[in-house]
Structure 1
Amino acid sequence: MKKGYPRVRFQKRLDELKNEVDKMGQAALKAYRDAFSTFIDYDVEVVNNVMETNKKVHEMGYQVEHDAMGIIAAEQPVAGDLRFIETSIKVSSHLKRISGLASNIAEVASHVKDEEIPEKPMFDLQRMADIVDGMVSKSLAAFLGKNMAVARELHRDDDKVDDLFDQALKDITKSMFQDKESISYSIYLLFLARFLERIADRAENIGDRTIFMITCEKLPLIGEEKD
């Protein structure tokens, strides 16, 4: 056996794990995009696809965890390699949650599909959704590319989402007071705003995990990650 073969084999397993997380991330991102698209323009087939994708993402997550633990048991990695494996497990957990929240958004869409949503709350929600979309994409790019600069951008993006979340709450509540008949569906808009805000938190957590993986510096959110 060639002297360098064990390391080559080990690196191959790490690369395969990375690819698994990448595929999982792309599936979770698609679920999110499809979910919000059906909120804008309802399509029952898209809703069903989001639900199916959510199941697949959870299955992929369990596979990532299984393979990661297998690598740890067989290879006994240390230092940076071990942090990468641990981070892969944590990232997969956040991606499962993002996919689950996407299914929640698709469910909201089914409750408001026949309603005419006021312009201002709709504007707030669309702006939130656009930033959240970028955050999920950035978080994946940061982790896969070990990009500190992109990971740090997520804190600023999350602040923007939090501000928009507060504004959306005000505008939706105002609409409820102005039109009592809107209360029944406005409650679902509040849920939607909350789901978007939580997806942003998950993306930020992925960024923080990435920074920890690269620097080994304990960050405020590590160990106390937003739920």
Structure 2
Amino acid sequence: MTASRDDVYGNHISNQFNDELLALKTRFLKMGGLVEAQVDSAVKALIEANDALAEEIRSEDKRVDRMEMDIDEEAMLIIARRQPTARDLRLVVSVIRMVADLERVGDEAKKIARFAIRLSEEGRSAQGYGEVRHISAHVTDMLHDSLDAFARLDSGLALQVMKADKRVDEEYQAAARTLLTFMMEDARNISRCLSVMWVLRALERVGDHACNIAENVIFMVKGEDVRHTSVEEAERVVGR
């Protein structure tokens, strides 16, 4: 995903201001692409017991942290220099909010990588990996769609991400019950199943952060804050 000049709210008298807003969106999307790839790779490292890949993901964490700090600084400089109003201000403020969610997605990918190494070292059955594959497919779709919604300023797509979050929560709860059954059947499964539960929890949190990004996209486009509201209320806002 890339941002084009048409993706910025509109042309301003200052071409430099246009370029600054475009650069902010582009850097945010670049960071989004990185953390999206990290989640995919972390799950792959887990499923394939690929310790080298898991270590690579863990080492990328500092790069994500640096990107967050750079984007925050860029956004604050735009506010100080341009004193944006209305939709431009919503764009800049939303990026500051959303970049924090991306950094936390990177943290969750690092956590999955850590458990991938632990589970690989245990070297036993892959109980719960089917659930991991299933939920990871959904949350990575949510993350991708939330970034796409941001790139295209598409509040309708953002709303679909919000709707998908409830399904992920339900799937997480069902997967946790399955793992609990494995632990009850054989105490030797407890340690491994607990690790897989933490992986599933990390994936569920990725879905939550994708939902947060989607909520901010709706705020950018519609000018109404839908955080802490129901999906039905968000649907009414998007439909206006």
From 37, 42, 45, the equivalent of 1:38 is 45
From 134, 139, 151, the equivalent of 1:132 is 139
Deviation by residue 1:45-81 (Cα, 9 ceiling, x = unmatched): 2112211222111100100000000010001100000
Query: Corresponding residue for 2:4?
Result: none
Q: How does 1:167-186 map to 2 (within 5 A)?
A: 167-186=174-193
From 195, 215, 221, the equivalent of 1:214 is 221
* RMSD (Å) for aligned C-alpha atoms: 1.4
For structure 1, the 5+ residue unaligned runs are 223-227
Query: Corresponding residue for 2:16?
Result: 9
Deviation by residue 1:6-29 (Cα, 9 ceiling, x = unmatched): 521101000011110011000111
Deviation by residue 1:132-174 (Cα, 9 ceiling, x = unmatched): 1101100100111101111001122111111110101100000
Displacement, 1:103?
A: 0.2
Contact 1:124–1:167, Cα closer than 8 Å, also in 2? no
Establish whether residue 23 from structure 1 lines up as the match of residue 30 from structure 2: yes
Q: How many residues end up aligned between the 2 structures?
A: 217
From 97, 101, 111, the equivalent of 1:94 is 101
The verdict on how the C-alpha distance between 1:88 and 1:220 changes in structure 2, with shifts beyond 3 A counting, is closer
Identity among equivalent positions (%) equals 26
TM-score with structure 2 length normalisation?
Answer: 0.87
Query: Corresponding residue for 2:83?
Result: 76
Moved over 6 A (4+): none
Query: Corresponding residue for 1:57?
Result: 64
**Aligned partners of 2:63 and 2:103: how far apart in 1?**
9
For structure 2, the 5+ residue unaligned runs are 1-10, 230-240
Contact 1:161–1:200, Cα closer than 8 Å, also in 2? yes
TM-score with structure 1 length normalisation?
Answer: 0.92
Query: Corresponding residue for 2:126?
Result: 117
**Aligned partners of 1:207 and 1:5: how far apart in 2?**
26
Question: 2:219 is aligned with what amino acid?
Answer: F
**Aligned partners of 2:219 and 2:130: how far apart in 1?**
35
The verdict on how the C-alpha distance between 1:149 and 1:5 changes in structure 2, with shifts beyond 3 A counting, is closer
Displacement, 1:175?
A: 0.1
Contact 1:208–1:219, Cα closer than 8 Å, also in 2? yes
